[in-house]
Structure 1
Amino acid sequence: MNTQEMMRILDSIARDRNIDKQLLISDLEQAMVSAARKHYSTLDAEEFKCTLDPISGEMQLYRHGEPMNMPPEAFGRIAAQTFKQVMIQRFRDDEKSSIFEEFSKRMGEIVTGTAQRYEGGALVATIDRAEAFMPRSEQIPGEQFNPGDRVRCLILDVRDAGSQVKIVLSRANPEFIKRLFEVEVPEVAERIIEIKAMAREAGYRTKIAVSSIDSKVDAVGACVGVRGSRIKNIVDELNGEKIDIVRWNESSQILIQNALKPAEVAEISLCFELGRATVVVRDDQLSLAIGKRGQNVRLAARLTGWDVDILTPEEFTKGLETMSETLSQVEGLSEEHADRLAALGMVSVFDLEEVGVEVLMTELEIDEATAQLAIEKASARAKEVHEEQEREKEEKARRRAEEEAAARQLLSGEGDGGEVSPDLAAAAILGASSLPAQREGASPDDAAGDGQAPSVSEDDDARAADILGGGDETKRDGGNA
C-alpha cells in the first residue's frame, strides 16, 4: 500500500469536503479494524486495533495488543469490500456532520445559490457544497427559476434528517427583507437605524417601521436613499414588490396613522380592552385606507399589533348613536355612560357585546345585573345591525349586477344594432333619470333632444370604468381588518 498516496488522498478529501483530517484518519483506522474482524470472523470489538501515523502514513494493525505483520492486501476480497463500505459510510457521516455544523451557524444569513430543479413544487438549489430546498410556501408567488439561475435567499432552517441534512431556504419570510436592508443600508447594519416592526404579503407589499437612535439621521430617508437608490435595489431583488417605509412612534395612535398612509386619517379611537383601533377617514380616503383587497389595512394591523377597523364619519356617528340608544333602554344608564365608553374606545354595540360584564361593571361603576342587561340589549341590537348590513350588501350587489348588465348591453349595441356613444353609455351606467330616447333616424349625438348629448363628468367616466372593470379597491362596511 502506498501510504504517501493514501495521505495525499485524505488531505484532498479533508480540504474539498471541509472535514477534519483527524476524523478521516480515525475512519480509516476503524475501517481497517472492521476488515480484520470480517477476515477472521470475530465479533470481539476489542480483539483488533489499528493505528495510522498522520505524518508518515504508516499503518500498524494489532491483535490482542500484539503487532501483526500481515499486510492489509492479504485480507482478501470480502474483507476489502467491508473496508470500502465502512470508509464510504463514515465519510458520508462526517460530511453530513460538517455541513450541519457549518450551515447551522449561518441560519438567518442571506446566501446566493444556483437553481437546479423543481421537486413537487419545491425549488432545489445548490449552496456552496450543499443541496438545499425552498418549499412552495417560502417562495414569492409568481417567481420561477430556470436551472442555472442565480437565487438569492435566506437560510431559514437547518435540520438533521437522519441520512441527510435538510437546508430550508426562503424568499417569502419577512426576515429576508430585513437582511436585504442590512446589506443595502449601512445604517441598519450598524444598528444606527433599527427595524422595529415588519408586515409582509410576499410578492405584493411590505410595510416596515424604522427608527433612528441618532437624531441627525433620518430613518426613512436613509432607507430610501438618494433618489430612491437604496430602496430600488431591494425592490428589484423582490421583482417589484412594493415597500412602505413607516416612521416608528411609541404612540399607538401616531404609529397607526403612519401605517395607514397614504390615506389621511381624521380620528383614531383605541380600545385597549379589545386591542382594537377604530379609525375614521373621509369618504374619499376610504379606498386608500383599506387598500386593494384590504391589503393596506391588513398590513397596518399586523405592523402595529392592533385590530384596525376603518369607518367613515357617517358610520362612526351612527355606531355611537346606536350604542347610546341601546344603553338608554337600560334603567340606570344614560348618554353620559355611553360617552364614558366611547372615551375608552368602545364605539358600537359590537364592542359592548365583546367586552363582557366585568368591564362594564368596572368602567361604569354599575352592578352586575345592570351590566348583564346592557350586554343582552347590545347583543340583540348587534344582531339586528348585522342583518341590516347584510341586506344592504345584497342590495348593493343586486344593483351593481343590474348596472353591469345594462352597461354591457349598451356598449355591445344590442337592441337596434346601432352604435352607442361613450357619453350615452356612461349616462346609462350611472342611472341618469333624464336620459331621452334616441330619435328614429337621428345620430347618437342628437339623442339629448337639442343636439347635445348628456353631460358626463370625468368622475362619472371613472365610475363607469369602475363598474365595468370591477374596480381595484376593496370597500367594506366597518368590518375588522
Structure 2
Amino acid sequence: MNGADLVRIVDAIRREKNIDAEVVFQGIEAALASAAKKHFGTAEEAVVSIDRGTGNIHATLNDQVLDPAVLGRIAAQTAKQVIIQKIRDAEQASLMADYGDQVGTIVSGQITRIDRGNGLVNLGRGEGFLPRSEQIPGETLHVGDRIRALIIEVREAGANVKIVLSRVHPELIVRLFELEVPEVADRVIQIETIAREAGHRTKVAVSSMDSRVDAVGACVGIRGSRIKNIVEEMAGEKIDIVRFNESPQVFIANALKPAEVKEILLNRDINRATVLVSEDQLSLAIGKKGQNVRLAARLSGWNIDILTPAEYDQQRATAMEQLTAIEAVGPDLANELMAAGYISLADVVEVDPETLSRLANVDAEQAKDIIGQVAERVAEFEAQAVKRDAEKAAAEADAVEGGDGETPAEELQPGDAETDAQISDDGKKDEAELEKTEAEPAADEQEAAAGPEAVESDETSPEESDDAGAGDDRVPDATPET
C-alpha cells in the first residue's frame, strides 16, 4: 500500500461515514506501532507518523529508522483491520453525539423488522428500537410502514447505539402540534398542559400569546385539517383541544367538556374540586370507564369529584352526621369544616394539622388528635364495608351450592324474606338497567350534537367520539397523576 492509496482510503471514509480523517490517521498510526513492535520482537514501542498530505509513513524503533518496504507490508496487513474498527468506533461516537442531543425530539423512519412485537426502525444513519410497551395500544405495525416517534433514550449497548423510541409519550403529541401548527412552533400558541391515554384519548390545554389569534381554532385548522393530520398519525386517537384559563373553576369546566357543569366548589387545602352536574350530564362528565374525568384531573392538576346536586347534599348531610358523632369534632367544628369544603370524613383525614388548627382555632396537638379520631372512624367504616362484602360473597356462594339460588315464585310465602317486595325490587332493577342502557347512546348523542360549539368546547377530533359519555361507570374521584 503506497501513501497515495492510504490518503485516498482515509478521505473516502471521511466523506462516506462522516468520520474525522484525523481520527482514522491516528488509529492507523497506533496500530502500525503495535504491529511493528510485534514484527521486530522488541520491548520498545515504535514511533510512527503518517504524512497527512502524501500518506508516506515514517517510523523509528530504538532510534533506528525502519525500512519503508517493511512498513508497507505491515501497513497492508493491519490497515484494513484498523480502519474497520475505527469506523465502528467513530460511527458509534458520532451516533451518540448526534442522537444523544435529540432526546425529546421527533423522528420519522421506516419499519424494517418486527421482532417479538418490538419494531426496528430505519432512521437513516441509525436504527431505532420501538418496544412493544411504547407502541400505541391497538395499533398494528407492518414492515415497510413509515412512522413518527419520539426519541426517549439513547444509550450504548455493546458495540452498538440503542435509540429507544416511543409513540405513547405525551410529548410526542406536543411535537406533532409543533409540526402541524405553525403558531405552536412560533410560540404564538402555548401548549400549557397535556393528558394522554395513548390509543384512546388526549386532552391538550392551549393558550394564545396574541389576542388576535384564537388558540383552539388555530390548532383545529380549517375544517379540522390540522388536527386531522395528528389524529391520523396517532392511529385514530381522539384529541380534545381545551382552552386554558388561569381560573381553576373555568379551566376544569373547559376540561370536562362536552359535559355542561353547574357549579365547581374548590378545596385548595386538599386540592379537591367538587363538580356539580345535572343528572343528564353525569355520564357525559364521567366518560367511558371514567376516562373524561380522569383526563380532566390530570390536565388541571386537581382531584375531581363529579356529583349531582342531590348526591352532593346527601354527602354533606352524611358527613355532618358522622362528624358531629365524633367527640373531638362536635357541631360547631363540623359546620366550619363543611363551609371550608370538607364534605366527607376522608377529606378531613387528608387535611394537615396546621390547616385544621387554623380552622378549628385549636393548637397543633389538638388538631392531630381530631384527625386521629376521624381516621379511626374511617377505618371502622372501611372494616364494616369489607365485612358486608364478605358476608354477601358467602351468601352468594351458599346459594350456588344449594341450587341455582332462585326460589320459584309459587313457593314464596307472605312471611318469607323474598316476597312480592323483593320481586318488585328486582323489577325496579331491571327498569334501572333499561334506563341505563337507553342513557348511554343518549350521552353519545349529546356529544355529537355539540355541533359548532365543539370547536369552542374543545371536542375537536375530526371523528366525533362514540364513547365520551358511554358506560355510566361511576368514578367518584379522579386523582391527577404526579
TM-score, shorter chain, exceeding 0.5? yes
Aligned residue identity for 1:27: G
Q: Residues 49 and 65 of structure 1 are in contact (CA less than 8 Å); yes or no, is this contact kept in structure 2?
A: no
Amino acid at match of 1:277: A
- Whether contact under 8 Å (1:205, 1:242) holds in the other structure is yes
Match among 201, 213, 224 for residue 228 of structure 1: 224
In structure 1, which of residues 143, 149, 155 is the aligned counterpart of residue 151 of structure 2?
155
Q: CA deviation at 1:195?
A: 0.6
- Whether the aligned pair in 2 keeps the contact of 1:309 and 1:480 (CA below 8 Å) is yes
**Distance in 2 of aligned mates of 1:69 and 1:256:** 83
Find the aligned partners of 2:286 and 2:437 in 1 and give their Cα distance: 23
From 426, 431, 438, the counterpart of 1:462? 438
What is the aligned partner in structure 1 of residue 25 from structure 2?
25
What do residues 282-326 of structure 1 show as CA deviations (whole Å, max 9, x unaligned)? 222121111111111111111111122222222211121122223
Instruction: Give the deviation of 1:329 after TM superposition.
Output: 3.1
- State the secondary structure of the residue aligned to 2:259: coil
Q: Distance in 2 between matches of 1:243 and 1:117?
A: 30
Instruction: Find the aligned partners of 1:27 and 1:332 in 2 and give their Cα distance.
Output: 80
Cα distance in 2 for partners of 1:342, 1:354 equals: 14
Corresponding residue number in structure 1 for 2:106: 110
Hey, what's the Cα distance between the residues in 2 that align with 1:387 and 1:480?
24
Partner residue, 1:423: none
Change (3 A) 1:286 1:391: farther
Structure-2 residue corresponding to 1:376: 373
Which string of whole-angstrom CA distances, capped at 9 and with x for unpartnered residues, describes residues 389-429 of structure 1? 9969999xx99xxxxxxxxxxxxxxxxxxxxxxxxxxxx99
TM-aligned CA distance change 1:52 to 1:385, over 3 Å: closer
- After superposition, what is the alpha-carbon deviation per residue over 1:453-481, rounded to whole angstroms, capped at 9, x for unaligned? xxxxx968726999xxx994242263444
Deviations 1:335-387 (A, max 9, x none): 55334323432111221133255432221213555873575256426743885
Provide the rounded CA distance (Å) in 2 between the counterparts of 1:393 and 1:15: 74
Structure 1 spans left out of the alignment, 5+ residues: 400-427, 436-457
Q: Which residue identity does 2:369 align to in structure 1? A: Q
Q: Does 1:48 align with 2:24?
A: no
When residues 304 and 43 of structure 1 are mapped into structure 2, their CA distance, relative to the original with a 3 A threshold, is farther
Give the whole-Å Cα distance in 1 for the aligned partners of 2:104 and 2:225: 25
Say which SS state the counterpart of residue 289 (structure 1) adopts. helix
| Aligned-pair CA distance for 1:10 | 1.6
1:196 positional shift:
0.7
Label 1:133 to 1:460 Cα distance change in 2 as closer, same or farther (>3 A). closer
Q: Distance in 1 between matches of 2:164 and 2:172?
A: 13
Alignment CA distance shift 1:156-1:332 (3 Å): closer
Give the deviation of 1:39 after TM superposition: 0.8
Look up the SS of the partner of 2:152 in the other structure: strand
Do residues 8 (structure 1) and 4 (structure 2) align?
Answer: no
Change in Cα spacing, 1:389 to 1:184, as seen in structure 2 (3 Å) is farther
The one-letter code sitting in structure 1 at the alignment partner of 2:30 is: Q
Distance 1:82 1:242 in 2: 59
Which residue identity does 2:261 align to in structure 1?
V
Residues of 2 paired with 1:464 and 1:215: CA distance?
Answer: 39
The answer on whether the counterparts of 1:326 and 1:381 sit within 8 Å (CA) in structure 2 is no
What is the number of equivalent residue pairs in this alignment? 425
- Residues 332 and 180 from structure 1, CA distance in 2 versus in 1: closer, same or farther, beyond 3 angstroms? closer
Cα deviations by residue, 1:138-177 (Å, 9 ceiling, x for unpaired) = 1111222222221221222211234221111111111111
Alignment of 1:124-203 (within 5 A): 124-203=120-199
Specify the SS of the correspondent of 1:230: helix
| Mapped pair 1:349 → 2:339 | no
Q: Which residue type is aligned with residue 438 of structure 2?
A: A
User: RCO higher in 1 or 2 (8 Å CA, sep ≥ 6)?
Assistant: 2
Q: Considering only aligned residues, what root-mean-square deviation do their CA atoms show, in Å?
A: 3.6
Compared CA separation, residues 13 and 430, structure 1 to 2 (3 A): farther
Paired with 2:240 and 2:307, the residues of 1 have a C-alpha distance of 23
The gaps in structure 2 that reach 5 residues or longer are 397-423, 443-466
Sequence identity of aligned pairs in percent? 47
| TM-score of the two chains, using structure 1 as the length reference | 0.78
Instruction: State the alpha-carbon separation in 1 of the partners of residues 165 and 440 from structure 2.
Output: 46
Deviation at 1:224, TM superposition (A): 0.6
Q: Which residue of 1 aligns with 2:55?
A: 57
Tell me how far apart the structure 1 counterparts of residues 47 and 436 of structure 2 sit (CA, whole Å): 93
* Equivalent residue letter for 1:31: A
- Does the aligned pair in 1 maintain the 2:204–2:241 contact within 8 Å? yes
Of 469, 473, 476, which residue of structure 1 is paired with 2:471?
Answer: 473
**Contact map agreement 1:123 1:133 (CA 8 A) in 2:** yes
Q: Residues 65, 21 of structure 1: CA spacing in aligned structure 2 closer, same or farther, 3 A cutoff?
A: same
* 1:69-117 C-alpha deviation (Å, 9 max, x unpaired): 24246656xx865554333222211111111111122222222112111
Task: Give distance in 1, aligned partners of 2:390 and 2:252.
Answer: 28
Amino acid of the structure 1 residue aligned with 2:67: N
Equivalent residue for 2:67?
A: 69
Q: CA separation in 2, counterparts of 1:59 and 1:147?
A: 49
- Asked whether the 8 Å contact 1:332–1:370 carries over to 2, the reply is no
